[in-house]
Amino acid sequence: MRLIIYAILAFIIYYLVRGFSKESPKRPDPPPFEGNTSSGKELKRDPVCGTYIPEDTPYRLKYKGQPHYFCSEECLKTFQKQIAEKKE
Ligand SMILES: [Zn+2]
């Protein structure tokens, strides 16, 4: 009887290993490094200080359906303040 249990275990392990090996190619590879930042990446204007920053900046805010981009957390906060003042 033990042999059957081992057989089942081996079967399960086999399927697990197969499943993992199937999944591994799915893992997204980091995109190849692009030498020039001008290709693909758009520059957005910081509405607070007017600096141009790449659109992949972590300081982003969606306002009225439009994404706004900021050079720093300070500018983002300033913009949020401006919005709050406008609402009043
Ligand atoms: Zn700024």
| CA atoms of 8 and 16, how far apart (whole Å) | 12
Q: How far is the CA of 37 from the centre of ligand 1 (A)?
A: 20
Q: What is the largest CA-CA distance in the chain?
A: 78
Residue 38 clears pLDDT 90, i.e. is over it: no
Cα-to-centroid distance, 60 and ligand 1 (Å): 11
State the average pLDDT over residues 3-11.
Answer: 90
* CA-derived radius of gyration, the chain: 25
Percent of the chain with pLDDT over 90: 53
pTM confidence score: 0.52
Question: Which residues are near ligand 1, the ion (C-beta closer than 5 Å)?
Answer: 46, 48-49, 51, 71, 75
Q: Cα(36) to centroid of ligand 1, in Å?
A: 23
> How far apart are the CA of 59 and the centre of ligand 1, in A?
10
